[in-house]
């Protein structure tokens, strides 16, 4: 017999990693572009990485952390 | 027309960097061999292409002959064929998706067994290069996986709802979507196929380079150096041997991970809460 297993664990891990990495890449990337454009050194890159990381965490919390 | 030494890879590691008699470590050119059939034509095939065709034929032949005349009491070949399918059913489909995943069995079976066949050529005698270590191959598998999970999601929810579920997770204050949506777009629709491709490609490339490095060094120490330094061939050979066993594991693991992730992505696309 093949039971219909609840697959949540696997799923959560991969989505969570995607959002965390994606967050840093997207907003860190935007930071790099803005730094180049505005000539602000590394300031906006740093800000972007932090904002992206926090937003990634927030997404993981919203998607998977709430009802538990 | 067929360049046989090139086709069986006899010229591969030794052909470049020689002349000064020094050791020539493997380079990335390993993965761009010369065409051995139909040179300089648009359909020209390299020896890696030939291996790909051979392995595709072998996988097709195996499954077709195993299930050509299926019977309730399976014969030997059908038995082996069913075991091959059960590997994917038990470890990927039922594990990740449950019964609803059986619909996607044909795709997942094909992915697992074809990727495995393409990986295993990296350690098979006479072939010695994984077909999946040429970037075009993992890209095609990743595109198949990408189309499959997006198709599954769109079919289940409809286009609008599918993108809404993925890009606008419920329970987020509206202004925050400005931060969240680009991340979700990149991580779901761009990073997934890219990471699938790179994970498989990099694993198979590095495995091949390691093997060529150790066995190339063994041959160099044994045949081109003299005195005590020749003894270095022994540990070099042993390291090569260890990495052959390591590659057997990597071969299986990478085929499994690729199939598992595809199943996870399809399951995620079907799920109603994102």
In this complex, is the C-beta atom of A1 within 8 Å of any C-beta atom belonging to chain B?
Answer: no
- Do the chains contact at A3 and B94, CB–CB below 8 Å? yes
Residues of B in contact with A50 (CB under 8 A): none
Alpha-carbon span B253 to B133, nearest angstrom: 15
Residue listed under structure tokens 């809460």: B273
| Residue whose C-alpha is closest to residue B62's, from B114, B12, B103, B125 | B114
Strands (E), A1-68: none
Interface with chain A: mutation pick from B97, B187, B196, B268, highest number of A CBs within 10 Å: B187
| The two three-digit tokens of residue A29, written as one number | 């990337």
- Do the chains contact at B183 and A66, CB–CB below 8 Å? no
| The two three-digit tokens of residue B210, written as one number | 């390691």
By Cβ distance, the residue of B89, B176, B186 closest to A22 is B186
pTM: 0.87
What is the ipTM score, two decimals? 0.80
- Do the chains contact at B183 and A19, CB–CB below 8 Å? yes
| The two three-digit tokens of residue B180, written as one number | 């969240």
B251: number of Cβ within 10 Å? 24
The answer for B240, left when phi > 0, alpha when psi is -120 to 50, beta otherwise, is alpha
Q: What is chain B's pLDDT, residue by residue, as a tens digit (274 residues)?
A: 556 555 555 544 444 444 556 788 888 888 998 889 988 888 889 999 999 999 999 999 999 999 998 888 888 999 999 999 999 999 999 988 888 889 999 999 999 999 999 999 999 998 999 999 999 999 999 999 999 999 999 999 999 999 999 999 888 889 999 999 999 999 999 999 999 999 999 999 999 999 999 999 999 999 988 889 999 999 999 999 999 999 999 999 999 999 999 999 999 899 876 5
In this complex, is the C-beta atom of A56 within 8 Å of any C-beta atom belonging to chain B?
Answer: yes
By Cβ distance, the residue of B97, B182, B191 closest to A7 is B97
């Amino acid at each position: 017999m093949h039971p219909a297993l609840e697959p949540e664990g696997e799923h959560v891990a991969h989505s969570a990693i995607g959002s965390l990495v994606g967050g840093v890449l997207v907003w860190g990337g935007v930071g790099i572009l803005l730094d180049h454009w505005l000539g602000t050194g590394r300031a906006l890159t740093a800000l972007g990485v932090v904002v992206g990381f926090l937003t990634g965490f927030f997404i993981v919390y919203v998607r998977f952390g709430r009802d538990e | 027309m067929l360049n046989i030494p090139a086709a069986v890879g006899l010229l591969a590691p030794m052909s470049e960097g020689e002349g000064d008699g020094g050791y020539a470590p493997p380079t990335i050119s390993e993965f761009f061999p010369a065409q051995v059939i139909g040179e300089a034509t648009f359909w020209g095939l390299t020896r890696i292409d030939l291996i790909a065709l051979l392995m595709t034929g072998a996988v097709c032949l195996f499954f077709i002959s195993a299930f050509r005349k299926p019977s309730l009491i399976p014969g030997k070949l059908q038995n082996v064929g069913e075991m091959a399918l059960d590997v994917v059913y038990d470890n990927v489909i039922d594990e990740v998706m449950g019964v609803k995943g059986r619909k996607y069995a044909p795709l997942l079976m094909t992915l697992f067994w074809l990727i495995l066949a393409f990986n295993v050529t990296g350690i098979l005698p006479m072939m010695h290069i994984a077909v999946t270590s040429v970037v075009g191959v993992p890209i095609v598998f990743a595109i198949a996986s990408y189309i499959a999970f997006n198709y599954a999601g769109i079919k289940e929810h409809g286009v609008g709802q599918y993108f809404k579920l993925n890009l606008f997770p419920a329970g987020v204050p509206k202004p925050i979507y400005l931060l969240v949506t680009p991340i979700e777009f990149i991580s779901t629709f761009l990073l997934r196929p890219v990471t699938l491709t790179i994970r498989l490609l990099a694993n198979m490339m590095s495995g091949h380079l390691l093997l060529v490095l150790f066995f190339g060094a063994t041959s160099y120490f044994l045949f081109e150096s003299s005195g005590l330094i020749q003894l270095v061939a022994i540990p070099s050979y042993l390291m090569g041997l260890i990495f052959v066993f390591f590659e057997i594991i990597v071969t299986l693991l990478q085929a499994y991970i690729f199939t598992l992730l595809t199943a996870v992505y399809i399951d995620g696309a079907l799920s109603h809460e994102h």
